[in-house]
Chain A
Amino acid sequence: DAGITQSPRHKVTETGTPVTLRCHQTENHRYMYWYRQDPGHGLRLIHYSYGVKDTDKGEVSDGYSVSRSKTEDFLLTLESATSSQTSVYFCAISESLALTDTQYFGPGTRLTVL
């Protein structure tokens, strides 16, 4: 299995509070991604990173920000959590963009916003 960890694994928070999720990899892969997974929607891309300090928005980026100060860490921040952000969040990594390469996922973080 790819060396990807996510923390925390579970979190319950209240509406309006800031939340930061961490993704840590030991594979030295260049590309990192944050997804959320909700019933009826599948996996949706929030933000991605193509290098240290290089990030960009995905399809559902509103209300989220990211930072990547080191190759191994990719942080996802909910500036002011809302109930609609209750979801399972997955981090993924990819070594390259070659056709034969795909993404490998971390174990996920279950976030509940009350």
Chain B
Amino acid sequence: RKEVEQDPGPFNVPEGATVAFNCTYSNSASQSFFWYRQDCRKEPKLLMSVYSSGNEDGRFTAQLNRASQYISLLIRDSKLSDSATYLCVAPDRGSTLGRLYFGRGTQLTVWP
């Protein structure tokens, strides 16, 4: 079983829609999580961090459910520029060297 599992999508939504991605993780000891955004042929870039039950930044909301071991990312009022692949990331709590586990990514396309 992979450390982090994501629905690969693709998700195709119209502008203005609300879309949610889920991610499950296997290490129950993990305390912090991250969502990265990766544009086509570009490097991953940090989008949001999640340390407690959730985090909100403008149109983006990340939530953490420790009991069920999943993280979600909600995007409201989708923009064309939100089209990208979204990576769910969990630290390896068994590692003392900052190792991160990356999901394979969920692809989002927002159409006009």
B87 touching A43, Cβ below 8 Å: yes
Assess A102 versus B96: contact at CB under 8 Å? Given A90-B43, A90-B44, A107-B42. no
CB atoms of A105 and B43 under 8 A apart: yes
A contact residues around B31 at 8 Å (CB): 99
One of B32, B51, B91, B102 near A42 (C-beta < 8 A)? B102
Determine whether B104 belongs to the interface, using a CB cutoff of 8 Å to chain A.
yes
Return chain A residues, CB-CB under 8 Å to B91. Answer: 99
Q: In the complex, which residue of chain B has the Cβ closest to the Cβ of A59?
A: B99
The answer to whether B59 has its CB under 8 Å from any CB of chain A is: no
| A and B contact pairs by CB, cutoff 8 A, 19 listed | A33-B98, A42-B104, A43-B44, A45-B100, A48-B99, A50-B97, A90-B43, A90-B44, A99-B31, A99-B32, A99-B51, A99-B91, A100-B32, A100-B51, A102-B34, A102-B49, A105-B45, A107-B42, A108-B43
